[in-house]
């Protein structure tokens, strides 16, 4: 098979041109203009570290939070920068003022590392974490809520799920949960950059998201948002100089001692890149590529195109050895893509970013066909 061409924006990205990179979802990828700003902040830090940390960092971070808040539809003061979604999940599981006996209701499409965070903290705190069954479709929200128990204090769910790339109906779930006095805590690891967000209007109680996935910042940039009525009650995971009475949300939750702030300070460049290079028509064409892939492999997962964006997951042929297939795809075809077991079945998840092409997605389908991995 002839190698497929790369996408229009491929030369912006630092990705190895030899690799057909269909896995933006796992760790994101950073375009050069953002990377250069990131490195400039690292140099700036090292030029005069005392001045940078002691004098300048607070206002620089406040500016970055404020700009990010505009993008996310919330006040910058309600945000704290964190290194990644896993850390943010630990912050909620550790610090949310649950009472012993409270139950957190997750579901069977949640990301493993975050489930581990819940399991670790709930065991220490005398709480429970239980998995509900998720059913994509018009009654998804009702079906999820019908599995709550009198002890359920919070629903925890992804806005965009990892193994199945489903966009879950978060506003509806939050509305039904609120009517039952149940909190909604959202893992939005894949959301910023793929979904238009307005956190103030979403109706949820807490939300965290990665910026290093679909907003293309360098690794180690994410945020935690908590609705204003809850922020005084959230205890910090790490207490340091910022842990003072009456201090801001960011002071409590962001000041983790000396660390590299450059990825947080690259947010402004990432937002500019997103605005200028990834406007809605570009992202829609990425979604159309996912549709093309899902149709080619006959995925039955999504009730409609509203249920996915720039990632699409599909079942592979029963009996597929996922580890072997992954190696074959990489060694024979130079395709980087996640192949995994979910619900005891073999699955694959395509990511589509503006550096990809339809020909790359077709090349993947051909490779899967030759390797007899399609159902
Ligand atoms: C839904 C979801 N939540 C959380 C994470 C964890 O992200 P990180 O490794 O940046 O903490 C991921 C990573 O892929 C994810 O897909």
pLDDT at 52: 98
What CATH number should be reported for the domain holding residue 194? 3.40.640.10
Contact 234, 91 (CB under 8 A): yes
Question: Does the residue 41 lie in any domain?
Answer: no
What atom in ligand 1 is closest to the CA of residue 219? 10
Q: Look at residue 1 in the predicted model and tell me its pLDDT.
A: 84
What CATH number should be reported for the domain holding residue 348? 3.90.1150.10
Backbone dihedral angles phi then psi of residue 206, each to the nearest 5 degrees: -150, 150
Query: Are 256 and 329 contained in the same domain?
Result: no
- 111 Cβ inside 6 Å of ligand 1: yes
Pocket test for ligand 1, best of 29, 210, 215 (most atoms within 8 A of CB): 210
Task: Output the pTM of the full model.
Answer: 0.98
Q: Of 26, 157, 160, nearest to 84 (Cα)? A: 26
Write out the residue range of the structural domain in which residue 321 sits: 10-30+279-370
Co-location of 325 and 351 in the same domain: yes
Residue 49 CA to ligand 1 centre (angstroms):
31
SS3 334: coil
364, 51 Cβ separation under 8 angstroms: no
Write down which residue in 240, 272, 304 finishes a domain: 272
Over residues 145-200, the pLDDT tens digits come to 999 999 999 999 999 999 999 999 999 999 999 999 999 999 999 999 999 999 99
Asked if 326 and 202 sit in the same domain, the reply is no
% of the chain at pLDDT higher than 90: 99
Reported as a single tens digit per residue, the pLDDT across 43-66 is 999 999 999 999 999 999 999 999
| Ligand 1 within 6 A of CB of 162 | yes
Tokens of 94: 């550790």
């Amino acid at each position: 098979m002839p190698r497929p061409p790369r996408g229009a924006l491929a030369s912006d990205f630092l990705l190895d041109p030899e690799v057909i990179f269909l896995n933006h979802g796992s760790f994101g990828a950073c375009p050069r203009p953002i990377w250069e700003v990131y490195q400039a902040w690292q140099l700036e830090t090292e030029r005069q570290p005392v001045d940078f940390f002691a004098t300048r960092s607070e206002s620089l971070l406040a500016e970055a939070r404020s700009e990010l808040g505009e993008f996310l539809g919330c006040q910058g003061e309600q945000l704290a920068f964190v290194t990644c979604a896993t850390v943010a999940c630990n912050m909620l599981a550790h610090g949310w003022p649950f009472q012993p006996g409270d139950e957190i209701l997750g579901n069977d499409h949640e990301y493993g590392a975050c489930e581990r965070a819940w399991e670790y903290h709930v065991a220490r705190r005398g709480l429970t974490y239980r998995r509900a069954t998720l059913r994509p479709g018009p009654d998804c929200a009702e079906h999820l809520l019908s599995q709550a128990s009198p002890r359920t204090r919070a629903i925890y769910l992804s806005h965009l799920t990892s193994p199945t790339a489903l966009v879950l109906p978060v506003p509806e779930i939050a509305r039904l949960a609120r009517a039952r006095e149940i909190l909604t805590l959202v893992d939005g690891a894949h959301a910023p950059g793929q979904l238009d967000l307005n956190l103030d209007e979403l109706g949820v109680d807490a939300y965290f998201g990665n910026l290093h996935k679909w907003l293309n910042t360098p690794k180690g940039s994410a945020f935690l948002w908590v609705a204003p009525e809850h922020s005084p009650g959230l205890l910090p995971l790490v207490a340091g100089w910022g842990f003072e009475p009456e201090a801001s949300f960011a002071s409590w939750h962001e000041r983790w001692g000396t660390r590299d702030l450059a990825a947080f300070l690259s947010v402004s460049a990432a937002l500019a890149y997103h605005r200028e290079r990834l406007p809605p028509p570009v992202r829609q064409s990425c979604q159309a590529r996912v549709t093309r892939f899902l149709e080619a492999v006959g995925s039955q997962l999504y009730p409609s195109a509203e249920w996915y964006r720039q990632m699409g997951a599909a079942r592979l042929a029963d009996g597929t050895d996922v580890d072997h297939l992954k190696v074959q795809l990489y060694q024979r075809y130079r395709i980087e893509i996640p192949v995994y077991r979910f619900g005891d079945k073999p699955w694959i998840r395509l990511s589509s970013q503006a550096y990809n092409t339809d020909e790359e997605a077709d090349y993947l389908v051909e490779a899967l066909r030759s390797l007899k991995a399609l159902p």
